[in-house]
Structure 1
């Protein structure tokens, strides 16, 4: 039969570790240090130093049990201080504490999101189930597809019709503009435009006078049209008959004259 004292000695480290973990989980790290959750880093540091002096394993402890209890308490205190003295670890610990607090205050199911989340999820799941039960068969799917293609064709035909109407309107606009431009060279239109001036009110209704004036004006317009490329200004005639090298010869004569007038020549 094995010695029970040796078995207990071998089990001590594992038991101690489990006890420490249970103590840490059952008690808040702020309670271990004896500070509030809003304590500053300096307050946490002072609390650790004050308690570590009392719980340090090397302190004056009369018995083995007291030394073991002090060691457990010091390990727990050191763990609390190492966690809370670092801002990142402290924020992570506070976040975990809030989650555990919500779980303790939540419904009996013990979930973080509460019953409303699962009720909504179940409602959506039932909706998907109804969708699967009322699935369309092949005939309904083909009918829906045909209706969709019919709608696409109708919209395309309407757009095509609008495009045709737009182009026809544009062509008609060009044709009407050409007709308006053609009217400007007609004899009667030229005459009526001339008679719209002040002083010709009496002969605006005389058709014979209009035709005579129209013929005169039309002849003038045609003559001006035929002579549109003729040179009628004097300076343009001089420029046209001028020699191409005239300016160059003038500059050469001026240079020769200046050279003859120099004192050395």
Structure 2
């Protein structure tokens, strides 16, 4: 399974509280066709960001409504994540986990999309998720998730093995970043450093892994008890990433 976590979008930990959400998966879709299957994956990433903005700014919700999404290119995207209170299916927001397909009423899910859903389900089953699969309309009166997806819910087409068992967590583009790198992944790193409390030292979130970013990361590591000698912020090692995420969790949790 290829998973893009919240961190890969530059989002901090969700403020949604814990909830079991262990009865199974609830399938959703968008109210209009998206045409994402014919676009690059970057369009899917932008769609996910826009959805979160809409839910928070227009709906007034604490975060994006869904726990996860699956895109037509076969990539899983994290929303609120596993075992967090949903805002997706009234009556089941604390007991079921929501997954939205990035598609609309006349769009059939791609094979890659269905496989991504199955891989996500298998992964979550390993964490204690129940076997149930329902549609949004099973909770309230709505057309969601559309006739094509709901038929797969009812006939078992979304259950079973996908043929791929390994998991690639797409937060790893941050691991291995080093001084001199540029781009969106660096922006995500910088946002996390800001969330960790070192925004003043970091300065602008500009996608340029320069001296200020390196020093701010070094200070985050120092905050977490690392010896943090000069140069300890010049590369995002696995240990540096773990310390950064722990610092974000501590800061965002108010500890």
TM-score (norm 1): 0.22
More helix by share: 1
Indicate the structure (1 or 2) with the bigger Cα radius of gyration.
Answer: 1
Using structure 2 for the length normalisation, give the TM-score: 0.22
**Greater RCO (Cα-Cα under 8 Å, separation 6 or more):** 2
Is the strand fraction higher in 1 or 2?
Answer: 2
